[in-house]
Amino acid sequence: MSGPLACFTRPELKVERVSYPVMTPSAAVGVLEAIFWKPEMAYVITAIEVLKPIEWTQVRRNEVKSVVSATEVAALRKDPGRRYDVETDRDQRNSMLLRDVHYRIRAQILRAPHAADVPEQKYRDQLRRRVDKGACFAEPYLGCREFSAFFGPQTDAQPIGRDEDLGVMLHSIVYPASGGEQYRWFHAQLHQGVMSVPVAPLGADAVAMPVSSAWRADGSGMGR
């Protein structure tokens, strides 16, 4: 997996985007699912290997300032005459991006309960065939949709010799039956260019989460 630019945004610095130095497991899952996915399976990322030195670049981009809320989306659907004017909600922001990235993703395939009798190898072989052919359901990207990812079969490239404490990183997102999203985190560390991802994330009380975002398109959610 490689690309000229990447941005795996740190959640605590999302106004002025600053990338993690290494691809996050959630971004890796998105890349794999863009190549091959079925409802009967899920990817579990076990490690991400960094195959090129970590290099940074800075750009200034036009972005919208607000986040559209579910209430605003419902109002737009209800009233066809209602409009969102992006020109009045545009702002220039700096982004600290990674450049010339190259990773090797190590993952396991987890079968859904209703596909327990299907050999795991079947899905693994289908993924490998699609990687060999360069086929994908959607264009994979590196953190942001404008940063396209290139993928191919495994090479002999070796991880870089770098150790670094990367801090708290998003492990996965779960969607409980009661609705909403639950974010799970882990303590990310790079050892000789390899970031191992534990199966179990940190406990629910280990990371303090904001109650709501500071600004919403409909003016709500100003508190934390």
d(CA 126, CA 123): 5
What span, in angstroms and rounded, lies between the C-alpha atoms of 35 and 150? 11
Mean pLDDT of 208-214: 54
Tell me 28's DSSP state: H
82 or 126, greater pLDDT: 126
**Averaged over 125-147, what is the pLDDT?**
94
Higher pLDDT, 141 or 220: 141
H-only helix segments in 36-172: 70-78, 120-133
Q: Provide the 3-class DSSP secondary structure of residue 127.
A: helix
CA atoms within 13 A on the CB side of 74: 4
The Cα 102–Cα 99 span in angstroms is: 9
What is the tens place of the pLDDT at every residue in 42-85? 999 999 999 999 999 999 988 887 777 788 888 888 888 888 78
Instruction: Express each pLDDT in 51-60 by its tens digit.
Output: 999 999 999 9
